[in-house]
Structure 1
Amino acid sequence: AGEGCWMEPGTVSGILDRGGTQLHTARCPEFRERVGREQAMENVKELGLEGLVVIGGDGSLTGARKLYEEFKFPVVGVPGSIDNDIAGTDYSIGFDTANNTALDAIDKIRDTAYSHDRVFVIEVMGRANGFIAVEVALASGAEAVLVPEVPFSLINICDRLKRQRAKGKRSSIIVVAEGAARAADVADFVSKNTGYETRYLVLGHMQRGGSPTAFDRVLALRLGAFAANRLISGFHGEMVGVYGDKLVANPLSYVLSTQRHIDPDRLLLVEAMTV
């Protein structure tokens, strides 16, 4: 049987300001196969569970959908992903915290970049999309942003940096989503094609930890309560989310078959704000 524990006041007290997963959940390769899911259902029955609120990204929500469709087991999904690439919601839990973690690092790097007339290339998470990269580039006033979804020219970026230097700009920040390019490669290219001292920094897993922002805490509370109410009220096989400030629910089949795209206007705004 699977391991389980009752979540009581003493268990959950004091975790509101902690990042990561307090349930210590992780990927389960066995769940990809039918026999693994059958074992999961046996565990669920032994634990006496009547339904599941599944928090996570594409993998977790796919697993939830399988349990619902194959075994008719009541499930409701909650979007939890720093990548913010889940359809059916404007925001996923963790996205805002990851943005602020990256922004704090870039603000500090900007100080040293300015002091020493350097170009810094900052690599943020985003293997298949550039949601974090674009948001952080806007908030930090970055001179350029590279994302997997949009083709880019490093030569054009170098030309832009040269124009900015000619106007008196002493330092530059380039934000790169990990799926677009390696920060080390971009830094090497920029250095060779501009002659500017160029450094790079890979933020990595620090974006997955840290105390959640106020926005993420409130979002998690709202979505969690809404998911529990939906489950108890008999609405299953769906994921809760937020559009604007309104709580919504969409079928998991829709969420998992729909691709979420970055807003092209935000990319244009990064360029427009470059001075």
Structure 2
Amino acid sequence: MGKRIALLTSGGDCAGLNAVIRAVVRRAHHAYDFDVIGIRKGTHGLLARPVEIEELKPGHDDTALLRLGGTVLGTTNKGDPFAFPMPDGTLKDRSEEIVEGFRALDLDALIGVGGDGSLKILSRLALQGGIPFVGIPKTIDNDVARTERAVGYTTAVATATEALDRLQPTAASHDRLMVLELMGRDAGHIAIAAGVAGGADVVLIPEIDWTLQIVVRRVKDLRVAGRNFALIVAAEAARPSDVDGSAVEAAGGIGHWLGVELGRLTGAETRVTVLGHVQRGGVPNAEDRLLGSALGVHAVDLVAQGRTGRMVAWWNRDVVDVPLEEVVAVPSVVDPQGPVVRTARGLGICLGDTL
């Protein structure tokens, strides 16, 4: 059929991206004889002159990619092309430069792997330039709409759960209160899932209003009951409703603020772990390898069928595709009445709103 398709990864990195790349290359070459052009450094590669590309040949479908973290194409989560920061401090709309870069490569379609923010930008660029585009969801935050899971999420949850597994014995050995801050810029999916899986006593997420006083009471109740330690998980975006948020920022984030305040109000010895980018790196687990492979294959099939302007997704144990305009409308956050939250409450985990 002779088609030339481009592939880029955009936004923050995560485990499973290389599984997506491998699947796209393998499906494109073996099923359709398509040429695949990799765009380096996300949309920044299309801004460069000459455009930064790498031809993705059958050798790029080696099984070693399945086990490799990060993305071999590189990525960026900086520089909105519609308001690109310039050296003189001004913002410039460079979106047309990206469209021109795409056209210069004589491409038939673009497959973009991104999170909530990246997919909004890529879909807007595609609309502006008339670019046939298919999106693939990836983000450890799992906040992309219309998919149950995004690539990278389950590995991040497994990493956070392992951190709790390692913190619990040392907490019990030293009579300590352990605070674990997890990523979650706008949503608490990682925190609530890892909190349940890792046996946390308190989980704090931005979707549920919580107060410091209730968390303090929970810690004190545990000590009265004879427990000599406690595990507290907080999503980075979680903020108490009874305290000025500026105090949290001044402390360096929710984890450090909780460590200081809980130590002061409970008298417990506290330790804080900010897991940070450890959640992004490392070897992808089997689920992310499978998900990335399934979504990559389906994305190429959509291009072959001429069905663009869509995002591939995982829904009800199946690979589906949905209109991009439905994806970028609103992010997918934790449902306060959903099954994971209900499970947490059923297990007696304090969410900071009630004991």
Task: Report what 2:77 is aligned to.
Answer: 27
In the TM superposition, what is the alpha-carbon distance from 1:270 to its structure 2 partner? Answer: 2.1
Task: Please state if 1:135 is matched with 2:190.
Answer: no
In the TM superposition, what is the alpha-carbon distance from 1:239 to its structure 2 partner? Answer: 0.7
Q: Which moved more, 1:160-169 or 1:90-99?
A: 160-169
Task: Report what 1:269 is aligned to.
Answer: 343
Contact 2:152 2:284 (8 Å CA) reproduced: yes
Q: For residues 155 and 35 of structure 1, what CA distance do their matches in structure 2 show?
A: 47
TM-score by length of 2: 0.74
In the TM superposition, what is the alpha-carbon distance from 1:12 to its structure 2 partner? Answer: 4.2
Q: For residues 36 and 50 of structure 1, what CA distance do their matches in structure 2 show?
A: 22
Task: Report what 1:6 is aligned to.
Answer: 55
Q: Which runs of 5+ in 2 are unaligned?
A: 1-49, 84-91, 240-253, 350-355
Matched letter for residue 143 of structure 2: D
1:89-238 equivalence runs, <5 A: 89-181=147-239, 182-238=254-310
Q: Which runs of 5+ in 1 are unaligned?
A: none
Identity, in percent, stands at 36
Aligned pair in 2 of structure 1 residues 35, 168: CA closer, same or farther (>3 Å)?
closer
Aligned pair in 2 of structure 1 residues 243, 162: CA closer, same or farther (>3 Å)?
same
Q: For residues 124 and 236 of structure 1, what CA distance do their matches in structure 2 show?
A: 35
Q: For residues 205 and 41 of structure 1, what CA distance do their matches in structure 2 show?
A: 32
Q: For residues 154 and 272 of structure 1, what CA distance do their matches in structure 2 show?
A: 21
Q: Which moved more, 1:93-102 or 1:3-12?
A: 3-12
Q: For residues 333 and 100 of structure 2, what CA distance do their matches in structure 1 show?
A: 38
Task: Report what 2:16 is aligned to.
Answer: none
In the TM superposition, what is the alpha-carbon distance from 1:98 to its structure 2 partner? Answer: 0.6
Quote the RMSD (CA, aligned, Å).
1.7
Aligned pair in 2 of structure 1 residues 271, 160: CA closer, same or farther (>3 Å)?
farther
Contact 2:141 2:183 (8 Å CA) reproduced: yes
In the TM superposition, what is the alpha-carbon distance from 1:268 to its structure 2 partner? Answer: 3.9
Task: Report what 1:17 is aligned to.
Answer: 67
Q: Which moved more, 1:212-221 or 1:166-175?
A: 166-175
Q: Which moved more, 1:197-206 or 1:7-16?
A: 7-16
Contact 1:141 1:273 (8 Å CA) reproduced: no
Task: Please state if 1:39 is matched with 2:97.
Answer: yes
1:225-257: CA deviation from partner (whole Å, max 9, x where unpaired)? 001101110111111101121112111111111
Matched letter for residue 235 of structure 1: R
Task: Report what 1:244 is aligned to.
Answer: 316
TM-score by length of 1: 0.94
Aligned pair in 2 of structure 1 residues 268, 159: CA closer, same or farther (>3 Å)?
farther
In the TM superposition, what is the alpha-carbon distance from 1:64 to its structure 2 partner? Answer: 2.2
Aligned pair in 2 of structure 1 residues 116, 211: CA closer, same or farther (>3 Å)?
same
Task: Please state if 1:80 is matched with 2:130.
Answer: no
In the TM superposition, what is the alpha-carbon distance from 1:37 to its structure 2 partner? Answer: 2.4
Q: For residues 69 and 47 of structure 1, what CA distance do their matches in structure 2 show?
A: 18
Q: For residues 97 and 117 of structure 2, what CA distance do their matches in structure 1 show?
A: 18
